[in-house]
Structure 1
Amino acid sequence: MRSWMLVKTLLVVGLLVPAMTLTLLHLSQPSANLAIRLVGLTPLALPLYLVAALVAIVPAARRRGRSAYTALALVAFSGLVVQAIWFAPLVTGDAREADAGASTVTVMSSNLRKGLGDRAQLFAAAAQRQVDVLVLVEVTPAAFDAMRREGLLDPYRYQAGEPVEAVGGTVILSRIPLGEAQRMDTRWGSWRVAVGDGLTLVAVHLSSPSNPNNWRSDFDHLLAAVDSDPPDIIIGDFNASSDHEPMWRLTDDGYRDAAELTNHWQPTWPANHLGAGLARFLPTTARIDHVLAGPGLAALSSDTVHIADTDHLAVVAELAPVSGARPR
C-alpha cells in the first residue's frame, strides 16, 4: 500500500512540476531562449494540472495521508483554474459580426521549412479553399523556381516579396491586385502591401527566440509599424503565441486571431515530428502562425492545414468587413 501511495505521490509531483514551471514562465515572461520557447507551450499545463488533480483527489478524501494529498490537490486545482482563465478566451470569445452580403477575402500562410514543404499539397489545399492571398515564408529561390516550372503560381497573377536562401524568404501570392510592396525592418522577410482597393496586409516572418534579442527587436519593429500606420491584416509566422507579451500588445491594438474570433484552438507547431530537440516528440501545441484581423474585420472561418515536410501547419481564414465598420 505504501509503495502504491509513493507511486501516486511521485506521479502527482511529476505532473505538477512542469505544469507550475509553464505557469510561472507565462507570468514572468523571461528573456532567455529556452524559456521564451516554453512560454509558447503554456496550454500543455492545462491537461497536466487536470490529471494531477484527478490523481490527488481520491487519496485526499481518505484519512491516510490526507493532508499531503489535500495540499497537492489544492495546488493542482488552483493551477487548473488559472490556466482555464488564460485559455478560455481562445475558445469562448465574442465573435465580430460581419456585414451581411459583404465581399470576403480568404488568406492563407504556410512556413515551407527552407523550401522543403510539399508544394503540390500546399497549392492543392489553397485551390480547394479558394485562397485569394497566399503568404509563403521560408521560401527559397530553388523552391520558388520549381513552383513556377510546375505551374503552381499560374492562379496567382500578382506577386510581392522575394525568395531568399535558408529561412529569410517571404513571398505574397495573390489573385487580387497588389500595390507596391514595402520591405519592413525585420531580419527575415516581412512585407507590407495593399490588397485590392481597401485592405492593407502585412506578411511577417519574425526572428526565432533562439536569438532573444533579435526576436524582441523584430517585434519592436512590427509594433512600431502597426502603431504608425495600422494594417487590416497581419499574417505569417510570428514565432510567438498568444501567451507571449508582445502578442498581448497587438491584442491591445485591436488585432484578434481568426481562430479566436471563430472560437477554435488551432495550434500550428511543432508538426510532422520535425524540428530540433523536443519538437520531434511534442504534440502540436503552440499557435505561432497567425491570421490577425484588425478591428474592421470579422472572421467567418479559420482552419489549419497539414502540409508534409514542414514543421508548421498552414493557417487559413476567411475574413469580411465588420458590421457597421469599414477596414482601415
Structure 2
Amino acid sequence: MKDTLSDRIRRGDTIDPPLSWLLSGATIFTRAGMGIRRMRPFAAVDADVISIGNITAGGTGKTPAVIRYAKRGVAAGVKVGVLTRGHGTRQSSSVVVSSDIEPEDHFRLLGDEPALILRKVPEALVFKGKDRVQSAQIAVQDHGCQVLILDDGYQYIHLGRNDDILMIDSTNPFGNGRLLPRGFLREPLSDICRATHCIVTRCDEGLDRSEISETVQRYNPGCAIEWTVHSPTALIHADTDVEQSLDLFSGKDVIAACAIGNPESFTKTLESLGMNVIESHAFADHERIPQNVLKSSHPAIITEKDAVRIQSPPDNVFAVGIELETLPD
C-alpha cells in the first residue's frame, strides 16, 4: 500500500506548508463536531454501561478489550450487549441485532470487529446502529441486557456510562499533540479528564511509562492506569479454524498481511514469535486483503480481524489469536 498523508500524520512526519496550514485550519471542523456532541441531550439506561474508546484516531487495541470485558460479564452470569456503529456496513435508521441474523452474515451486516467479538464471545449480543442510545434502550428493554459495552464510545458522551475506559497505544500515545486532520487527536488532551480508567496497550514494544503517566495525571489526577500487552495465544488456520502452536513457523519465512490501524505492531508480533517476515503488506483499516497477496508457497499470516473478512481463504493462511494481558505495575 502506498504511503498516504494519513500514514505520515500518524507517524508524526514533517508536513510542509502550505499543506500544513490547510490541515491546521481544518481543525475548526473537529472542534465544531465536539461542540455539537456536547449539545446533544443526555440519556441513561437501566444497565451497567462500559465505554471503551480512544482519544486518537487509529488502532489502539479496543477490540481485545471489548472481548475481555464481554467475557467477564458472561462469566459473571449476566447478559452482555455490545453497542457498535458497524464500521464499513450499510447504515439504516433501525437497529440490527446479532441474534436476528445468521453467523455467516455477521461480517456483512455488522462489520469485521463485531463479527470477531461474536466469534470470541458467542453468548454476547451485538446491537448495530448509528443511534447508540436507541441501541442501548432496545438491548435493555427488549433483550434484557444487564451489561452494555459501548464500543468506540469515548466521544459518544450523551449516553451515560458507569466506566469510561480510555485506550492509549504506547507506541504512539498522542501523536503530535494536534487535532484531526493536522494530527490524529479526536479531541484535546484535556478531555482525558473524563476517563475513569486508562488501558495502555503494546507496552512490550519499548516504553517510557513516565511520559504517558505524567500526561494522564496532568489532566486526570489519580486516574488508574493499566499497562498491557497484546499477547499471542495461538495460530489459527483461516479456513478450518483449527488452532496450531505459536511456534509452528518459528525460524521459517512468512508473508505478513494486515488491514488494521497499527500495522507496524503486527509485524513486530510475528518477529517476536521467531518468524522471518520476508514480505509485509499493509492495507487501510477494515479493508479486505486481496487474495493474490495471500497466495504463496510461504505461510501468509494475518490478524483475526482480517480473517473474518476473507471468504474461502487459501490453505496457506493463518491468523494470530491475541488477548489483552495486564503487566505488573
Could you tell me the TM-score, scaled by structure 2's length?
0.28
Could you tell me the TM-score, scaled by structure 1's length?
0.28
Task: Specify which structure has the higher proportion of helix.
Answer: 1
Q: Which has the larger radius of gyration?
A: 1
